Amino acid sequence: MDKKSKQKLHNSNFIEACDNAVNGIIYATTTQSNIKKQLVIAVIVMILSLFFNLSKAEFLCLTFAVFFVIFSEMVNTAIETVVDLYTDKYHPKAKIAKDVGAGAVVLAAINAVIVSYFLFFDKLSFIGTTVLESVMNSPMHLAFTALILTIILVVSLKAANITKGIAKEKFIPSGQSAIAFAALTAICLNTNNIVVFTLALIMSLLILGNRMENNSRSVVEVIFGACIGVLIVVLVYGLTVLRM
């Protein structure tokens, strides 16, 4: 193996490592139908969680359970890929590796079902005005839900573009801009502290400038991504207010 090939096996810096990690998530999303279904379920669960009086600990358990299922599916995909790399023929040990990976996904799914049961079963009969009022009194819950939905939407959009064969130079919204401005909007809606808002605004603008300066995304892609982040947070808060 030559020197150039060896260098490709390692990330040269933290930014490259993050980019490769995102590429791995997008690959799994575009190639694995199970992950696509799990992302849809994750969106539905996060939206439904807005209508339940979940404590911080309960919301944390729910978020962990949702992401743990997706994490397990990605690990299973990695195991299957490595096994297929080494052999394309049937082998008992290869079967064991794939079966164990699939078993991990099943256990994660069972865990998610159990967590959902204990979180939602006793609350199903209490959906109504009282629950909606409790949601309105939980701005942090709304903020984190909006951020999670933003991340899922960004990944889904990129995955959809890649699935359709759209090249990198084509229009793909900036995910970092979407997340940055989703966080900025959530901060704006939850604080009256002008210093905190100003610092968050500066950080968001720096992220936008960085994406355009590195030619990672065009101006339109960066602005469109920022608008997506703002829109999702506003919709989450707005729909909750309308239901009240």
Give the residue numbers annotated as catalytic, written as ranges: 73
Distance in angstroms (rounded) separating the CA atoms of residues 51 and 229: 22
Q: List all residues 6 or more positions away from 109 whose beta carbon is below 8 Å from its beta carbon.
A: 69, 72
DSSP letters spanning 64-115: HHHHHHHHHHHHHHHHHHHHHHH-SS--HHHHHHHHHHHHHHHHHHHHHHHH
Nearest to 67 by CA among 40, 44, 38, 100: 38
Distance in angstroms (rounded) separating the CA atoms of residues 221 and 175: 9
Distance in angstroms (rounded) separating the CA atoms of residues 137 and 126: 16
Nearest to 151 by CA among 74, 70, 211, 209: 70
Distance in angstroms (rounded) separating the CA atoms of residues 148 and 43: 8
